[in-house]
Amino acid sequence: MTEAQDRHPFLLSTARPSHRQRRLAAAVLAALIAAMLVVAPFAHHRLSGTEILIPAYAAAVFLVELLTATLLFALFSVDRSRSVLLLATGYLFSGLLVIPWALTFPGVFTALGLHPDLQVTAAIAAIRRLGFAVFVLGYALSKDRKPRERIRGSLGKVIMGRTALVAGVVSALVVAAFLRADVLPPFMRDAREVAPLWHYVPAASAALYLAGLAALRTRMRSTLDLWLIVVLGTLLIEIILISYLGGGTRLSVGWWAGRVFGLASTSLVLLVLLSETTTLQVRLARSVRSERLARESRLTAMEALSASVAHEINQPLASMITNASAGLRWLDNDVPRFGEARSALERVVRDGHRARDVVDGVRNLFKKNNRERVPLDMNRLIARVLHRIEEETQLGRVSLKVDLEVGPLPVTANPMQMEQVVSNLMANAVDALSSVTERSRIIRVMSRSLEGEILVTVEDTGPGIAPGDRHRIFDPFFSTKPEGMGMGLMFSRSIVEDHGGRLWVSDNAPYGAVFHLTLPSSILPGMPHPGSDR
């Protein structure tokens, strides 16, 4: 890939043609050749009274080539390629010359008093045909220029200067042809038939087209190159129809068919440019939309991260406040109870470390390449969490029923993150039971080893989860609790799925909800695989 293709991979002048575009170009050439063969038997037939169509044909060619030049100049403003600038100049040169060619065509504008010399039209046609071929060949040969040779400076000045230069050259050539018509080469015998000298013009043009085709074929690197090959092929067909099959006779079937082919060739690059411009606009719109969505996703992720940290750190902070207050009360007694105060302060320290670990766990979750995962026993982890929330469950008059599988349940995980998951599930169960008054408040924790994974369930006898909320409870910022931030379950599922497991919820008969957690099992050093004979 060249530097230009690396910098502007989607431009018409740098994007490599696809197989579909190659097949389409080949099909277009084949169709044009087939059309030429159909017209060939009738090429010598003269069509009288068709001079009236010359202005319409010239206007169409002028507009198409002017638009093509404009789009190529716009392409140059991005690509800054000298070859693209040269090609745009060629289209502008050819488009400007078609106007004086039509104005001087014999028998077309005689009502306006225009009676130019017969050779003026032919001379302008020769200059236009040979000049465009030279520009295309120059484009093909200049494609090997190095990126450092690209045009620098003000693009507006370059384009305006080139446009003014072409307009000046065209005007000078036309004025010179009018003023020195007596010294122009005798290309025409009469208004319809060409002189022998004219045959050198199509031969020279064909040679230039073939040279351009060879240069483009050996240097074809872009979609623009591919379609210029089709353009040159079409122009060769035009020459064959006008100068050889049609015998050079003006206003014959071959002459008009050649003109139609010429108009088709000028339209090809314009259609491709318009198509690619539309495609680029669509890509740009999609890119802008994707960037906007990505920015919104990043903002949502930052909000989720902030809410997750606040949610997860709130529990140890609340415990620290409770234990600190309890310690102060023990010290404020008439007989200070230093043992109990010391125990309360130790719990404060423990919760402080836990808060620090929460922050580290959240950070590790979002830094996927910085995970710290170790072999651990899920049963021991569950036991630690249950011990930590024992006081909370007693205050909430909640009965804990624990049914852990005998022996270790080995997994490879981040201990702090897994503790946060189990703590979230337990805290949600305790919160769900706070509104229960007519039945026992029970939380049942169970662990089992399955084939290749371990299963942990947390059941409660609370009000359960409404059917309409079940598919939303893991969404960020959705909570069934008025004071909830809707991050705990989302955060828990992210951790579990990041460890290759699953987290889902189901109904607990007759009341409450069951949260199911699975993780891939592993083997602890010195321990049998779960599910094996012990």
* Distance (Å, whole) CA 303 – CA 487: 10
- 303/274 same-domain check: no
* Distance (Å, whole) CA 279 – CA 285: 10
- 452/488 same-domain check: yes
Count of domains for the chain:
3
Residues of the chain predicted below pLDDT 70? 1-10, 110-115, 144-153, 280-281, 283-284, 287, 290, 293-294, 296-309, 311-312, 357-358, 360-371, 476-487, 523-534
- 120/238 same-domain check: yes
pLDDT at 182: 86
For the beta carbon of residue 263, count every other beta carbon within 10 angstroms.
Answer: 16
pTM above 0.85, yes or no: no
Q: Contact, 453 vs 496, CB < 8 A?
A: no
Helical pair 82-103 and 253-332, crossing angle rounded to 10 deg: 140
Tokens of 462: 């609370």
The domain that holds 35 is classified in CATH as 1.20.1070
The answer to the question of residue 361 being in a domain is no
pLDDT at 7: 47
- For residue 402, give the 3-state DSSP assignment: strand
- 257/332 same-domain check: no
pLDDT at 96: 94
- 173/58 same-domain check: yes
- 398/433 same-domain check: yes
Length of the chain: 534
Q: What is the DSSP string of 221-257?
A: -SHHHHHHHHHHHHHHHHHIIIIIISTT-TTBHHHHH
* Distance (Å, whole) CA 105 – CA 121: 6
The answer to the question of residue 380 being in a domain is yes
- 262/312 same-domain check: no
The answer to the question of residue 362 being in a domain is no
pLDDT at 356: 76
The answer to the question of residue 221 being in a domain is yes
The answer to the question of residue 367 being in a domain is no
The domain that holds 504 is classified in CATH as 3.30.565.10
- 330/382 same-domain check: no
The answer to the question of residue 25 being in a domain is yes
The answer to the question of residue 531 being in a domain is no
- 471/440 same-domain check: yes
Sign of CA dihedral 156, 157, 161, 167: positive
- 89/128 same-domain check: yes
pLDDT at 352: 81
Choose one of 258, 274, 292: the last residue of a domain: 292
- 76/173 same-domain check: yes
- 199/69 same-domain check: yes
Q: What is the pLDDT of residues 451-480, one digit of tens each?
A: 889 999 999 988 888 877 777 787 766 666
Pick from 170, 47, 177: nearest CA to 121: 177
- The domain of 304 spans 295-351
The answer to the question of residue 528 being in a domain is no
* Distance (Å, whole) CA 27 – CA 18: 14
Choose one of 351, 384, 418: the last residue of a domain: 351
Residue at 353: amino acid letter: H
